[in-house]
């Protein structure tokens, strides 16, 4: 088992990474501060792991709720069902919510925990690669709105994160690949050596060699923990974690949540961000081609939907959370491992990037 810490003073918490950790309640049960717990999971994950987690809660008032699976259900309506369960079963301020599933479950559980009785504890038990390397760490919680992704939410840190790598064996190949997009992101924004490592271990990652995947998770979490500790509420530096997300969220919102997986949209969005960086003279064109080869090797998309014109992209991007006073702020690169948040991208170059990355009809 590998253990990292997110350093947030008195709200610091551990990230445990390893095989079989859901069967080790001694890792997460000490973080349950009262005698009540609610496990939140999805219809896909529940048959696989819910019984294991519930067994680790023996002796508590342990309840569970199973949500429909998928990004399309990351809504205020589904969030309300969590509050219904908590209230109907009389959970009080000392209850703890456990998020057992991927990023959708984690985001919704965290948001419910942030809001219920003005804030209760929660624990992340991520079961997808994307959740283990990204969404379970850092305390960003939210639901989607028809006009924008993750626009309604709160910052609320978990008490601990337990990433059981055994759960990845049941992950469909497409979802595993989508998680690799977020792994690549950490190399691009601040760890050039890790980016080199990902390229060197491309085949082993695709083959899901356990020791290589565990290393990728640990290095990703290490990179994210450093950024979160320096800027918990995204007042500045933390925004670089959104490389590719402004373009990617536009794709997800426009196509309807769920048609593109989040990691797939981020993959295309990162390539567009690097292309724009090159058009601005900040990055060598060879680095754009290098990323394209890596994404294609993992089977990730490198073109946006054909129907998404520049006007359509810009309309969606105008609702991005990084837009301030009408100014579009983008995360771009001035070199591999050198991400910056900028308002300097000329609109004509943004349009050129969009045009160059639309898929043929």
Q: Which residues are catalytic?
A: 118, 140, 182, 224, 234, 238, 242, 245, 249, 262
Cα separation of 201 and 199, whole Å? 5
Of 300, 308, 226, residue with least CA distance to 270: 300
DSSP state of 68: P
Residue 122: strand pairing partners? 97
170 and 162 Cβ atoms separated by less than 8 Å: no
Question: Residue 212: helix, strand or coil by DSSP?
Answer: helix
Contact criterion met (CB below 8 Å) for 124 and 118: no
CA-CA distance, 356 to 303, in Å (whole number)? 9
- CB neighbours (10 Å) of residue 188? 27
State the helix-helix crossing angle for 285-297 and 173-190, rounded to 10 degrees: 160
Q: Which of these, 346, 347, 253, 338, lies nearest to 304 by C-alpha position?
A: 253
Enclosing H/E stretch for 353: helix 347-356
Please enumerate in sequence order all residues whose Cβ is within 8 A of that of 189, keeping only pairs 6 or more positions apart, or say none: 223, 240, 241, 243, 331, 333, 337, 339
- Beta-carbon neighbour count of residue 63 at 10 Å? 18
31 neighbors 96 (Cβ within 8 angstroms): yes
């Amino acid at each position: 088992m590998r253990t990292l810490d997110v350093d947030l003073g008195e709200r610091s918490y551990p990230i445990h990474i390893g095989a079989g950790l859901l069967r080790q309640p001694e890792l997460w049960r000490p973080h349950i501060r009262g005698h009540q717990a609610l496990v939140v999971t999805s219809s896909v994950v529940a048959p696989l792991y819910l019984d294991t987690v519930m067994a680790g809660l023996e002796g508590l008032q342990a309840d569970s709720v199973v949500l429909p699976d998928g990004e399309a259900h990351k809504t205020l309506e589904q969030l309300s069902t969590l509050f219904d369960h908590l209230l109907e079963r009389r959970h009080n301020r000392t209850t703890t919510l456990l998020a057992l599933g991927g990023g959708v479950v984690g985001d919704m559980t965290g948001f419910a925990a942030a809001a219920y009785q003005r804030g209760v504890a929660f624990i992340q038990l991520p079961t997808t690669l994307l959740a283990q390397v990204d969404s379970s760490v850092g305390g960003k919680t939210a639901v989607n709105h028809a006009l924008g992704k993750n626009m309604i939410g709160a910052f609320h840190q978990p008490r601990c994160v337990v990433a059981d790598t055994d759960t990845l064996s049941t992950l469909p190949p497409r979802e595993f690949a989508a998680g690799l997009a977020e792994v690549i992101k950490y190399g691009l924004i601040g760890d050039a050596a890790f980016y080199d490592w990902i390229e060197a271990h491309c085949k082993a990652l695709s083959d899901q060699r356990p020791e290589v995947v565990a290393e990728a998770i640990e290095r990703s979490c290490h990179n994210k923990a450093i950024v979160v500790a320096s800027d918990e509420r995204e007042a500045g530096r933390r925004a670089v974690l959104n490389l590719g997300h402004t373009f990617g969220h536009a794709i997800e919102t426009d196509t309807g949540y769920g048609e593109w997986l989040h990691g797939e949209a981020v993959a295309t969005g990162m390539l567009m961000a690097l292309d724009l960086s090159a058009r601005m003279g900040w990055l060598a064109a060879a680095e754009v081609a290098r990323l394209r080869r890596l994404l294609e090797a993992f089977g990730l998309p490198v073109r946006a939907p054909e129907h998404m014109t520049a006007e359509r992209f810009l309309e969606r991007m105008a609702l991005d959370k990084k837009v301030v006073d009408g100014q579009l702020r983008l995360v771009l690169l001035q070199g591999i491992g050198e991400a910056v948040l900028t308002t300097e991208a000329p609109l004509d170059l943004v349009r050129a990037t969009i045009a160059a990355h639309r898929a043929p009809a």
